[in-house]
A and B are shown apart, each in its own frame.
Chain A
Amino acid sequence: NAGVTQTPKFRVLKTGQSMTLLCAQDMNHEYMYWYRQDPGMGLRLIHYSVGEGTTAKGEVPDGYNVSRLKKQNFLLGLESAAPSQTSVYFCASTHGGIKASGGATQYFGPGTRLTVL
């Protein structure tokens, strides 16, 4: 099993450009998450999904859109990148429903380092 994979690993954008980050998991997890991590900070939740075709806003959703067309994939889009979106982006997945009712381990991808000039 590959676990959680993210592409690309690195990207440099100019202000106003758009891009899509791809997250894929092969563990048949129901829930998927996108976080951002800024220097010296913990992770902040951008958007999450509880299943195919569903998405919801997290703590810092502005400037981002997401889609979950397939259970194994969760896409994060930046329509018009801004320097404030320079960060490291992490995707995570976990079981949902009754398996997560008492708490569940989140499995993280290796991250995408994004720089917006």
Chain B
Amino acid sequence: SQQGEEDPQALSIQEGENATMNCSYKTSINNLQWYRQNSGRGLVHLILIRSNEREKHSGRLRVTLDTSKKSSSLLITASRAADTASYFCATDPRHIIQGAQKLVFGQGTRLTINP
């Protein structure tokens, strides 16, 4: 089952513009994470935001979390060609903090930065 649904499925912008990707989920979560995947590679962790946090920043990345709407957004500012990749949100749907963290991934957003 897909807990997280990313929107849009594909996004193409010009270099220097900002890119915004959204993620919606269905159940309560412990945390939400964003990962990047370059073509033919494994996933690389970008940001983790816990359920009691509303916003986090990391360099050119800004993530927001709205637990009342069960949604998150990833903003990449001043995009570069190297940002071209697929971006996945992953939720940890543990209601009680116990046991193994089992992330549930969305289908991803394919981001293309045009030079």
A-to-B contact residues, CB < 8 Å: 4, 31, 33, 35, 40-45, 48, 50, 56, 58-59, 90, 92, 94, 96, 100-111
Contacts and interface: CB of A to CB of B under 8 A. Distances in A.
Most interface-central of A42, A92, A96 (chain B CB within 10 A): A42
Contact of A42 (B4, B31, B50): B4
Q: Determine chain B's interface SS by DSSP, over half rule.
A: loop
Interface in B66-86: none
Contact of B102 (A40, A42, A48): A48
B88 to A, nearest CB: 6
7 contacts: A43-B90, A56-B100, A96-B100, A102-B97, A103-B31, A106-B33, A106-B101
B50 A103 contact: yes
Interface residues of B, number: 29
Contacts, number: 73
Nearest to B103: A106
B97 A58 contact: no
A42 B42 contact: no
Interface of B: 1-2, 4, 30-31, 33, 35, 40-45, 48, 50, 88, 90, 92, 97, 99-108
A48 B43 contact: no
A105 B43 contact: no
Contacts of A58: 102
B97 A108 contact: no
A50 B100 contact: yes
Given A4-B42, A104-B48, 19 more contacts: A31-B101, A41-B107, A42-B90, A43-B43, A43-B90, A43-B103, A58-B102, A96-B100, A100-B100, A101-B97, A102-B31, A102-B97, A103-B31, A104-B101, A105-B33, A106-B33, A106-B43, A108-B44, A110-B42
